[in-house]
Chains A and B, each alone.
Chain A
Amino acid sequence: MLSYLKSMAKEIKVYILFIAFLVLHSFASKAAPDGKALFQANCASCHNPIKKATGPALQGVEARVPSKEWLYNWIRNSASLIASGDAYANKIYAENAKTAMTAFPNLKNEEIDAIIVYVNEYKDPNASKAKESGATSEEPSSDNTLLYAILSIVMLMVIFILTQANKVLSRSANAKMGLPSPKDVPYYRNKAVIALFVALLVIGFGIWLTNGSELGRQKNYMPKQPIFYSHKVHAGINQINCLYCHAGAEKSRHAMIPSTNVCMNCHKQINEYTGAETHPLVDLEGNKIDGTKEIAKLYEYAGWDPVKKDYNRDAQGNIKATSPEWVKIHNLPDHVYFNHSLHVVSGKIDCQRCHGNIEQMDEVFQFADLSMGWCINCHRNTNVQFADNNYYSIFKKYHDEIKAGTRTDVKVSDIGGLECQKCHY
């Protein structure tokens, strides 16, 4: 038995390795154009390759600007270029409502080149959307419950009829033979019936208990939000980096819902939803959503006057902004300490691992059940960045084992990831 389990464990390991290989492989092939990642991390919040956003559309940009050198300078520090009196710089600045571009002094020439290559090769995602989708979303399996139920009832009836027939037949046979028939037992004294009833009761209680433990969990929870904010439009179609808005995910235990002024970084310029044809917004009840109206709601919260193109301010000059009261989807009990930054920065865990394919969701729903078992399983199965992170250098024993070849990896559980006070204090 034990050896069987062991071999099974081995098989599972191989299987996991295989999957890991597939995942990594697909990653590697996807990550080939460096420019895409760079674009998403640095540019996407203000620029679209083919559409004008806060900044101009970038496709064919190197053809428009005076020189490539000029472009490098502009990206690294546009303000100084404008200040130097450069004619084209000032023209661009004026054209874009004098919105200063963030300086990127750390971008290397090659990186900028890669971004330009990516931007130029960029094609409208809506055109190729049909092909891409479906690969990730699950095929809805047809529901056979009803069929099975009918079949079961029919079978039960057959059994009942057959037993009754059997009873009648044996009774008449007994009568013919002159043997006494067993006395009829009422059903509530029938031991078989009682046993069956008790069994059903036990099973029912079991189901009730199992479901009871699910109480308070909100998997697939998808509440209506004060603004119809589509993650698909932002993170999916427009490919804005998650961390642009959820900046806390790298720094804090909270990923942080952005304040309205972060939204306004882009939405000062983007005041209408232009994707209604390629990606119509529909809410859960099937109602059509007007994206432009939703942006207007944001302006209401942010205290932005789209006509004046300026903020409404009070006497002290403070922006009259209020916060949207978003409905919290991912709720952990008060006694659970979860830290986003540890998972994102030192664990290098993708957002999607816990939040699902958020870039495919118009309205966000809770992807995982966020139960303790779910957390624990991940801690059992996930490797820590053992070799790369110097923090783990104190685990001499594991380093020795890896060197000796008796250990291939270190799971979170190996460094105390299953202990109570990892999460509860």
Chain B
Amino acid sequence: MSKKQYWKGLEEINPSSQYKEAVSNEFQEDLPFADVENIAFATTTRRDFLKYLGFSTVAATIVASCEMPVRNAIPYAIKPENVTPGVPLMYASTYVDGGEAVPVLVRTREGRPIKIEGNFDSTLTAGATTARVQGSVLGLYDAARLKHPTLDKQEASWEVIDKTVMDAMTAMGSAPLYIVSTTLNSASTDQAIAQFIQKYPNAKHVMYDAMSYSGMLDANLNSFGKRAIPAYRFDNAKVIVSIGADFLGTWISPEIFAKQYSKTRKISAKNPMMSQHFQMEGMMSLTGSSADERATCKPSQYGAIALSILNALNGTASTLAPTLAAMVAKIATSLNASKGSALVVCGSNDVHVQTIINAINNAIGAYGTTINFATTNNTKKGSDADMNAFADALKAGQVGGVMFMDCNPVYDNVNGKIIADKISGLKLSVSFNDRNDETTAMCKIAAPTNHWLESWGDAEPHTGYTSFMQPTIAPLFKTRPFAESLLKWSGQNIAHVDYVKNFWLAKLGTQEAYDNALQKGIIEPETMPMAGASFVGNIADATAKIATTKSSAAGEPELIIYEKIGIGRGASWSNNPWLLEMPDPISKCTWDNYVLMSPNRSKAMGAELTDLNEVQRDKKVFSIKANGQDLKLPVLVLPGMHDDVIAVAVGYGRSEGVGKAAANGTDVTGVNVYPFVAKDETGNASFYASKVELANTGNTYQLAITQTHHSYQNDRPIIHEFTLAAFQKNPNELYNERKEEFEHYTHSFEDGGHSSEHGEVAAKADAETDAKVEMTKADEDWQEAYRKNGTLYPNHENLGLKWGMSIDLNTCVGCGSCTIACQAENNVSVVGKEQVLLAHEMHWIRIDRYFAGDPSKPDSIQTLFQPMICQHCDNAPCENVCPVNATNHSSEGINQMAYNRCIGTRYCANNCPYKVRRFNWRDWNEADCFEDNAYTDGKRDDMNNDITRMVLNPDVTVRSRGVMEKCSFCVQRLQGAKATAKKQGRTLKDGEARTACQQACPTDAIVFGNVNDKESAIYKLRYEEQKERVFHVLEDIHTLPNVNYLSKIRNANVLQSADPEKEEHTAKAEHA
């Protein structure tokens, strides 16, 4: 087979002895006995040994012979009618975080939510979820949530709070009261706020977004007279251009965009067409890593690039540097060729840049085709100008009081310092936030609102698309919905449930209609109305303003402040151990933020090889000076970064009130980089800085990077990638390669025909028998023949079901939703940073990141993601080496793991070619029968809190110390689906059994089902529709995986992986 050049990290190109050792060992460290040497050379006498043996035997006998504990079975006193213990109930609801709203289904068991799924009825998301949606269920059980309202930090009753607030508001007189919130898009809450303002006409509602889109909204106001974000239709686009917008990861509505985007990336031999995606950006983003063509630039150049594209559309040549100019020319040609089916987006918060983007989209006919103003996206509505005005009023002492709803300006706003200084002087300061965060800590009153899983309500993420919220659990703490508090204070004594109901009864007419809406969870138009908008923006003014943008001098760095896919703006996510431990899709780092830097820059800054090496944990700490701030962050070297760009993520460096995982005393997770955010001349927040000073502090800091954990040697074909042109020309290339390699197995060992030594014998034997029949059959049956004849082991027979999974490398964008979905479904443990450093992380899905290209040329980097799970091999190497038969094969093709049988020899993990087995080195979850044996590190300990443990899935065993675990294909779901079918006396339907990763995937990259069913999607995919793209990883070692992958097709001219220069490069590096 052809060998292409991929590398997981820099250490693979230039391997150090440390890396080689790490890769060659499944377990990267010695046994965790500090005194292991002493034991080996101890002078324990035979007598001592016998004494201990005798003592421990007696002790074990005494312990074991204790009486069985008395267990109680406590039934419901009055059983709710629709609850059957042991049977899950699904409720339609809405995930809400700031303006983000995703229609979801919530799985509850015995009245507690345990898992979030996307709502497949929604035409917007079609069931897509993000890692944060998946992780939000853990936030419900967050031990750091406020458990009651407080007045001056003391617990108070709601009556006292109500009285204090209403007295203060009367005392305030005509001084204005500000309600500051994130984007809110609930119609009923809007009405409640309006009624509150009606009662107190001095009240003002200010919305802002921590990661601001204010510049874009202002540009749309200038260009179209409408301060709104339109609905994007990536699914209608043949050419997609993004300038620094991470629309698959964090930009506006990533779950919807990823779904739409994936529709344009589904490709088969019958229909070999796909969109072309250009990305120009400063840092290496998730979206950039999926791009077909990518070029890097400084963020200060975004405006100039946008202008160049606009000019190039009209045939004016670009004045940019040659590499960028070439890219701009390519983009312009593609855009011109697909007018009406092209789309340009930009991540800048600069009004002028966004105005030019609007002009480009106008020129390529995007409005009305790929950008829709008939339905607007309400995810971001905040105004930085309003927020600045609020800060000015505070400064001038013109504010009577303030209320904060789901926002934390002290932590995340440009005006945070002013607000922090002035809050205490106000007559009234109320925070509705769910925890004692930076802003709440400064407020007189904390009036915590309910978690969305405890709430009634509604959200309108897109105009006309309402998604309803219903509680799936009674409030865990003494909290009260935000709207109910506001109404109470405006004199309306109404429960939120009734308020929401009355609001919708008035709109929908009947109780039945409301009930239906709640049950379905959504009200949506059948088809999305589509309309363009006429562009009236001032291009000349924007051009002039962009021309004055200051870039950093050549060779000097610029800074990008970005949002991580797991942690987002911060909020409650900063204390979510699932998301903190989720490896960042690009950097593969857990638990911290850091400064991203290109290999060239780090070399220029004096970093030696160890800093480039992800095996090396000690990272140099650099001090970064920008915007008058000096912050110190460890350096993480990442190929694909522009040499003059560094990037830092927000959401870290929280206060103690946020929770143990965010900050446990002085042990704070990461550094808060919001202070780097500055106001631009229009008053909008700018997430780029061009005046940055970098200096090595000489200190080091350990970063827990998982990239080199569970590595396997990469000199065999693990991924297959083709350019679109090559695939169109010869779609069968991969199929033929595989066939060529394996078809000689159509002769079994018994025939003596399979090895080359006996080739002649085989040929003769064929000639003698009816060779023709054999050959025509072999054309289709070579896979079956390889299965049977490629091994001496017996072949497994799958009589009824045979489960199989397919993962499409072309649509997988690496977002990590599956990792967190799997964690929630399968009670996968969080281990904490110290243990991640020891490669003890437990994730069942590891998303391998591969680069191709030259690390010293950031534009050449091409990225590939490969989710790696247990491959459920039919000829599994792990099964053969287990001394106690704890891992073995089921008749349905599942590689089973019996935890209670495992004695922890770890032979299986050593023998697994895919490195997907995870060992429980410690008692993570107090699952051992020994007390006080649980692992604690001060940060992840709340996972074992009585409240947080409610998130555990009761259908899955919580593993104890010393056992091996791995992906089970969500066997509990398979068994559940089979049980339902069996009880109803019918066969299992395709799609009835879905794995958690499959359900969570926003791009439908994962297909799962019964391969024995010829009508199933997985069978059709493997043997009909995608026959040409199917491959198995390490197929040649005859493990017979039940997981297959579909080859990556890149709509680019050149594949970096096929670069012949790299061979030389590697050779040179080795000689050096």
A346 and B896 contact, Cβ closer than 8 Å, known pairs A212-B64, A421-B890: no
Stretch at the interface among A100-108, A253-261, A270-278: A253-261
Which residue on chain A has the smallest CB distance to residue B892?
Answer: A416
Q: B50 at the A/B interface (Cβ < 8 Å)?
A: no
CB distance from A418 to the nearest CB of B (A): 10
Residues of B within 8 A of A256 (CB): 75, 84-86
Please encode chain A, from 196 to 211, with 1 for each CB lying within 8 Å of some chain B CB and 0 for all others.
Answer: 0000000000000000
Residues of B within 8 A of A74 (CB): none
Q: B74 at the A/B interface (Cβ < 8 Å)?
A: yes
Residues of A within 8 A of B971 (CB): 421, 425
Whether B87 pairs with A251 at a CB distance below 8 angstroms is yes
Please encode chain B, from 469 to 496, with 1 for each CB lying within 8 Å of some chain A CB and 0 for all others.
Answer: 0000000000000000000000000000
Please encode chain B, from 948 to 980, with 1 for each CB lying within 8 Å of some chain A CB and 0 for all others.
Answer: 000000011110000000001001100100110
Residues of B within 8 A of A212 (CB): 64
Of B68, B84, B982, which one neighbours A251 at CB under 8 angstroms?
B84
Interface residues of B in 47-85 (CB under 8 A from A): 64-65, 68, 70-79, 84-85
Residues of A within 8 A of B981 (CB): 391
Of A321, A391, A394, which one neighbours B78 at CB under 8 angstroms?
A321
Whether A259 pairs with B75 at a CB distance below 8 angstroms is yes
Please encode chain A, from 376 to 407, with 1 for each CB lying within 8 Å of some chain B CB and 0 for all others.
Answer: 00000000000011111111111000000000
Q: B271 at the A/B interface (Cβ < 8 Å)?
A: no
Whether A394 pairs with B800 at a CB distance below 8 angstroms is yes
Of A216, A326, A392, which one neighbours B73 at CB under 8 angstroms?
A326
Q: A262 at the A/B interface (Cβ < 8 Å)?
A: yes
Residues of A within 8 A of B891 (CB): 415-416, 419
Of B79, B896, B987, which one neighbours A394 at CB under 8 angstroms?
B987
Residues of B within 8 A of A419 (CB): 888, 890-891, 896
CB distance from B588 to the nearest CB of A (A): 29
Please encode chain A, from 315 to 347, with 1 for each CB lying within 8 Å of some chain B CB and 0 for all others.
Answer: 000110111111110010111010101100110
Please encode chain B, from 885 to 920, with 1 for each CB lying within 8 Å of some chain A CB and 0 for all others.
Answer: 010101110101111110000000000000000000
Residues of A within 8 A of B955 (CB): 337, 425
CB distance from B956 to the nearest CB of A (A): 6
CB distance from A280 to the nearest CB of B (A): 27
Whether A389 pairs with B76 at a CB distance below 8 angstroms is no
Of B86, B87, B899, B1013, which one neighbours A424 at CB under 8 angstroms?
B899
Tell me what chain A mostly uses at the interface: helix, strand, loop, or mixed: loop
Which residue on chain B has the smallest CB distance to residue A340?
Answer: B86
C-alpha gap A420/B890 in the complex (Å): 8
Whether A389 pairs with B985 at a CB distance below 8 angstroms is yes
Please encode chain A, from 60 to 91, with 1 for each CB lying within 8 Å of some chain B CB and 0 for all others.
Answer: 00000000000000000000000000000000
Residues of B within 8 A of A388 (CB): 985
Q: B799 at the A/B interface (Cβ < 8 Å)?
A: yes
Whether A260 pairs with B896 at a CB distance below 8 angstroms is no
Interface residues of A in 213-268 (CB under 8 A from B): 215-216, 218, 221, 223, 247-248, 251-254, 256-262
Whether A327 pairs with B73 at a CB distance below 8 angstroms is yes
C-alpha gap A396/B987 in the complex (Å): 13
Residues of B within 8 A of A258 (CB): 75, 79
Whether A322 pairs with B79 at a CB distance below 8 angstroms is no
C-alpha gap A346/B975 in the complex (Å): 14
Whether A391 pairs with B986 at a CB distance below 8 angstroms is yes
Of A215, A331, A341, A420, which one neighbours B71 at CB under 8 angstroms?
A331
Q: Please count how many residues in chain A sit with their CB below 8 Å of the partner chain's CB atoms.
A: 61
Tell me what chain B mostly uses at the interface: helix, strand, loop, or mixed: loop
C-alpha gap A262/B986 in the complex (Å): 32
Q: B317 at the A/B interface (Cβ < 8 Å)?
A: no
C-alpha gap A215/B975 in the complex (Å): 30
C-alpha gap A319/B78 in the complex (Å): 8
Whether B982 pairs with A326 at a CB distance below 8 angstroms is no
Q: A365 at the A/B interface (Cβ < 8 Å)?
A: no
CB distance from B123 to the nearest CB of A (A): 33
Q: B1012 at the A/B interface (Cβ < 8 Å)?
A: yes
Q: A301 at the A/B interface (Cβ < 8 Å)?
A: yes
Residues of A within 8 A of B70 (CB): 223, 327
Whether B75 pairs with A257 at a CB distance below 8 angstroms is yes
C-alpha gap A396/B1014 in the complex (Å): 14
Please encode chain A, from 338 to 359, with 1 for each CB lying within 8 Å of some chain B CB and 0 for all others.
Answer: 0101100110000000000000
Whether B86 pairs with A253 at a CB distance below 8 angstroms is yes
Interface residues of B in 79-100 (CB under 8 A from A): 79, 84-87
Which residue on chain A has the smallest CB distance to residue B69?
Answer: A331
Whether A248 pairs with B987 at a CB distance below 8 angstroms is no
Residues of A within 8 A of B975 (CB): 337, 421-422, 425
Residues of B within 8 A of A337 (CB): 955, 972, 975
CB distance from B112 to the nearest CB of A (A): 16
Whether B72 pairs with A326 at a CB distance below 8 angstroms is yes
Please encode chain B, from 772 to 811, with 1 for each CB lying within 8 Å of some chain A CB and 0 for all others.
Answer: 0000000000000000000000000001110000000000
Whether B68 pairs with A424 at a CB distance below 8 angstroms is no
Of B71, B79, B982, which one neighbours A342 at CB under 8 angstroms?
B982
A389 and B84 contact, Cβ closer than 8 Å, known pairs A215-B64, A394-B1012, A395-B800: no
Interface centre among A259, A324, A392, A424 (most CB of B within 10 A): A424
Whether B983 pairs with A421 at a CB distance below 8 angstroms is no
Whether B799 pairs with A301 at a CB distance below 8 angstroms is no
Q: B988 at the A/B interface (Cβ < 8 Å)?
A: yes
CB distance from B616 to the nearest CB of A (A): 38
A325 and B74 contact, Cβ closer than 8 Å, known pairs A424-B898, A424-B900, A425-B968: yes
Whether B892 pairs with A390 at a CB distance below 8 angstroms is no
C-alpha gap A232/B87 in the complex (Å): 29
Whether A328 pairs with B983 at a CB distance below 8 angstroms is no
C-alpha gap A240/B74 in the complex (Å): 22
CB distance from A398 to the nearest CB of B (A): 7
Interface centre among A262, A302, A327, A420 (most CB of B within 10 A): A420
C-alpha gap A413/B898 in the complex (Å): 18
Chain A residues within 8 Å of B, Cβ to Cβ? 212, 215-216, 218, 221, 223, 247-248, 251-254, 256-262, 301-303, 318-319, 321-328, 331, 333-335, 337, 339, 341-342, 345-346, 388-398, 415-416, 419-422, 424-425
Q: Which 6 A-B pairs have the closest CB atoms?
A: A252-B86, A321-B77, A420-B898, A259-B79, A259-B76, A328-B73
13 pairs of residues in contact across A and B, judged by CB atoms under 8 Å: A303-B77, A321-B78, A326-B72, A331-B68, A334-B958, A335-B899, A346-B985, A389-B985, A415-B891, A419-B891, A420-B896, A424-B901, A425-B975
Chain B residues within 8 Å of A, Cβ to Cβ? 64-65, 68, 70-79, 84-87, 799-801, 886, 888, 890-892, 894, 896-901, 955-958, 968, 971-972, 975, 978-979, 981-983, 985-988, 1012-1013
